[in-house]
Structure 1
């Protein structure tokens, strides 16, 4: 008779084993997930830096491809377009650097400032004005201003430093004045029952606050400042234009005129364009642009930096380690 195997004794169940395995699996899964995320970010960052480097190289190559031999006779031009203010394309820093590069070039016979601007900061315009006058003496090359649509306020301020100003008959020229604008909401706040709580150290510290009343003394102080800047503007125009200026009572009132009227008033010298000045006045029809523009690489770098910063913060917040 065949002998049957006796049943093996059962191992006592360990109620803690499933919980431990589950905790271990969860921990391992979290670690693997974190490692995968870290690897993806490393690959992504390397690819982005590679793309950025490629764009920078492409911009340098494309710029060099457009470069012209410095010994080639030409008319240099620098564009002054948009608001004249710090941090813009038409800032004093950008315009002055471009003018220096243009006049340092041995092949440039003259510099033309192509202006299309409604104005801006009197400080930035004054810096450009002074540098135009200095560079004219330093290099002995003429500097002309050519107006497109508008040359008003601070734009006209810097234009008067040029040897001559050329306009289109329909250009807007002038606006020799200074302004400081704002709003006042004190009466409206009173009707709505809103109380303004402004704490200052110095009785006049908040006199430009639109939610606080303005005293006669504060208004007079602001007007004195504006008058002083206006007089600086007028002096610069008179110094730059000299005997060509045919002053009228309204000339320095802030009014503006067409290019045709500006020529009659001595605010401008004639009507022409960039190509016309290069061809007929400078006698160097080839024009080279020395304007400093924010190129594609710089824009991408700024956007890339902002996007990467935001993505990195988001990734850190979502990392399992920080939960």
Structure 2
């Protein structure tokens, strides 16, 4: 991923004075998928037209996680990754509004008057056509339009974005595809390759003894990606990009009771990655997890996985400018 950065602000009340008066895209934006990008592009265009900052207002944690703590949500783009994607798109800042019990009790009027007007001083709001806000979801598109007219800020509502099959692009569809291991179709909806980011940690170092050293990463939980083996690219903190093959799962041959880990074997690479924050982009699903009869059979399969991944990655092309910035 390139070095673009966006200012991350915790809470609307913390917005620097120099960013007040901007155009604000409002939503959860989990996935920053093609549907979200339609909303975000309108906000960027409006900010350019008005000559004001382009901001994103989102909520952390995701409101579904707050309201249903017993049903943890697989977040496609955790806050740090979402911020990196928004930076690549060209936003100046993302306001990550803490979604607390107290905030959940705010009325729709209070959200407009306090968050949008008093704290952010917005000149224009851009959101999806079905955005609802305030206690009990009492605020909707008509409410926001009326509030904008009263408080003197513009409002743009963006219709649902549909893919080439005329289906609405949604985060739930993407979660389902990732749960099936279908990272290729998920990339078509995202507009870029599904990417995770985490610190490289020490494992049992078994791969090193077998000739396949791996960069091990514990992904934020819950992660609903199907356990299996994938063709991937790993980007180091210095920006360098490396092809590889990765296994995500519990390692049934050597450690069946372990916690899920992403283990990436980076091709033609010998440096130490421990402690680095690296990003891994998924290009193709190769196979499911297997329990082998022994290490010899496992090593033979890893050789086959490597050959298949190299072949797959040799022919890939970027899906978009965003994909180009992330995975190429």
What range is the shorter-chain TM-score in? under 0.3
Q: TM-score, normalised by structure 2?
A: 0.22
Between structures 1 and 2, the one with greater strand share: 2
Q: Larger C-alpha radius of gyration, 1 or 2?
A: 1
Between structures 1 and 2, the one with greater helix share: 1
Q: TM-score, normalised by structure 1?
A: 0.22
